[in-house]
Structure 1
């Protein structure tokens, strides 16, 4: 594994930080397919994205886990900005960089993402045909989540209130380097609305997978972009690449994978349901990750 840093030309000359994982027996004189792995909202490359990248590299591809702009070791102010347009462009910025590496076959680049990173990856694939195959794990279309809630039962009035909250924060912090933040994972076990999201607290805020650069927060001002964002917009027209979605049978977020399966233009699409898994268990629970990796490995070997 090597850490690389490079300029993101799509986001105010922000320097990106990415970990590149190489297959066993890597030969820099050869060319390899590559897969870009995008982390969840509030996460960093050292968590589930890095775990999946390591597994993918073991299958023979070059895999890249990176920190989003404004997050982790990547640059940008204010910290923890979760702007979906920039998050989507980050994926293409990593691909820009990969095309400059002599050992990457630019015609064989795929992308995958976890949670909100899955939605951003889909959006990037809609925009960027250099992505030859796209996969997700526990996909979340983050705009749908803020509009409709975790289980798609939220009233639109809640989303309207979130838009106002974001706008008020922009006014309050205009001209300042720091901005108010809100949690993307519960701050305590008691804050969790259900057992599944209690696991989000456990993953991000306990020894299970807490990381000092992953506060699992986002700026309140981000709500203005997120509430009105649809990661799957134009999927019915432009998502023509092969598509694999992995979701847990018990995941509250499963409906967002099912939605894209209906909307995607591609005829080469598969929804792989992991029995007994919920949204969070696909992040790091070995028995479920192994099943997801098996499906992902076969998919990318076939499509790249």
Structure 2
């Protein structure tokens, strides 16, 4: 599959974004193509599932695909590093669209977006106000704000915010940045230490082994700059503002990260959508949907007609 690495300017923040453009077979630069923005998960990068799995599958269906690294992450600019800022992640999607509409082979009236895990929720959040997106798909979408308020803060969001505040003050006064590793070093380590949840173990298997490991996919987060995540909700105002066709694809083998629950929520709230679909895969889990060939094939069997209809 043909692809090209590019950079484009994040003008508001004065740094460059790094992206891969994937082209369909027989690409003709004189033609205009429907285009998909592909958004990577929390703690991931463009070289992982957003391009290598779903980007590839979408390009094979005839779409131009733009898979980019989030600001502060991967090969994109922004300092300090490892910041996960939901508002910035959503704005990154608009910046990718700004870049796409200036490409002569992109049909600006047929732009959609697909995101995986946290990227899926960011895509949904972007679509609430970004009406250049004509259809959106979330693969095992996770509302990161909800997850931070619950499991990631050990159900103590105020305590987490107070700790973040103290750490940010310390760093402003010269202390070393606190960068938290989000996953155990290995599946064996996780199990030996009682970390037996399906999502934790499967995430570790994906990100910490040759299966999905990538240099840019740092499963780290700058603790002191994560405060705004706890007050963010990917699905706020979806009842009114989600007017585009929307699809959530979830596995029914559930884990602690809550994608099954979040997929149901965005489906339930998208009452103003022109076409809302919830695709439940009975025998598959969150991380199966990252790269398991059969799970991805089943997901794409629903995604293909959905996008063909709306793009």
Report the TM range for the smaller structure's normalisation.
over 0.9
Return the TM-score normalized by structure 1. Answer: 0.94
Over 3 Å counting, the alpha-carbon distance change for 1:100 and 1:25 in structure 2 is same
Question: 1:32-53 CA distances to partner (integer Å, 9 max, x unpaired)?
Answer: 0100010001100010101201
How many residues get paired?
299
Report the equivalent of 1:2: 4
Report the equivalent of 1:206: 209
CA distance in 2, matches of 1:161, 1:193: 25
Over 3 Å counting, the alpha-carbon distance change for 1:25 and 1:201 in structure 2 is same
Cα distance, 1:179 vs. partner?
A: 2.5
Spell out the pairing of 1:230-269 with structure 2 (5 A cutoff): 230-252=233-255, 253=258, 254-264=260-270, 265-269=272-276
Report the equivalent of 1:34: 35
Give the secondary structure class of the aligned counterpart of 2:211. coil
Report the equivalent of 1:281: 288
Matched, 1:228 2:231: yes
8 A Cα contact 1:77 1:177, kept in partner: no
CA distance in 2, matches of 1:182, 1:15: 25
Can you give the 5+ residue segments of structure 2 that lack an aligned partner in the other structure? none
Give the secondary structure class of the aligned counterpart of 2:309. helix
Report the equivalent of 1:187: 185
Over 3 Å counting, the alpha-carbon distance change for 1:55 and 1:179 in structure 2 is same
8 A Cα contact 1:8 1:15, kept in partner: yes
8 A Cα contact 1:78 1:178, kept in partner: no
Question: 1:178-219 CA distances to partner (integer Å, 9 max, x unpaired)?
Answer: 621123333333343413320101111111111112121111
Give the secondary structure class of the aligned counterpart of 1:135. strand
From 281, 287, 299, the counterpart of 2:306: 299
8 A Cα contact 2:74 2:218, kept in partner: no
Cα distance, 1:256 vs. partner?
A: 0.6
Matched, 1:24 2:25: yes
CA distance in 2, matches of 1:107, 1:75: 29
8 A Cα contact 1:56 1:63, kept in partner: yes
Question: 1:41-96 CA distances to partner (integer Å, 9 max, x unpaired)?
Answer: 11000101012011100001101111000100101111111011100100000000
8 A Cα contact 1:186 1:200, kept in partner: no
Question: 1:241-278 CA distances to partner (integer Å, 9 max, x unpaired)?
Answer: 00011000113320011111111131410000112111
8 A Cα contact 1:15 1:74, kept in partner: yes
CA distance in 2, matches of 1:295, 1:143: 28
Matched, 1:163 2:161: yes
Matched, 1:218 2:224: no
CA distance in 1, matches of 2:95, 2:176: 26
Give the secondary structure class of the aligned counterpart of 1:173. helix
CA RMSD of aligned residues (A): 1.7
Cα distance, 1:169 vs. partner?
A: 2.1
Cα distance, 1:294 vs. partner?
A: 2.0
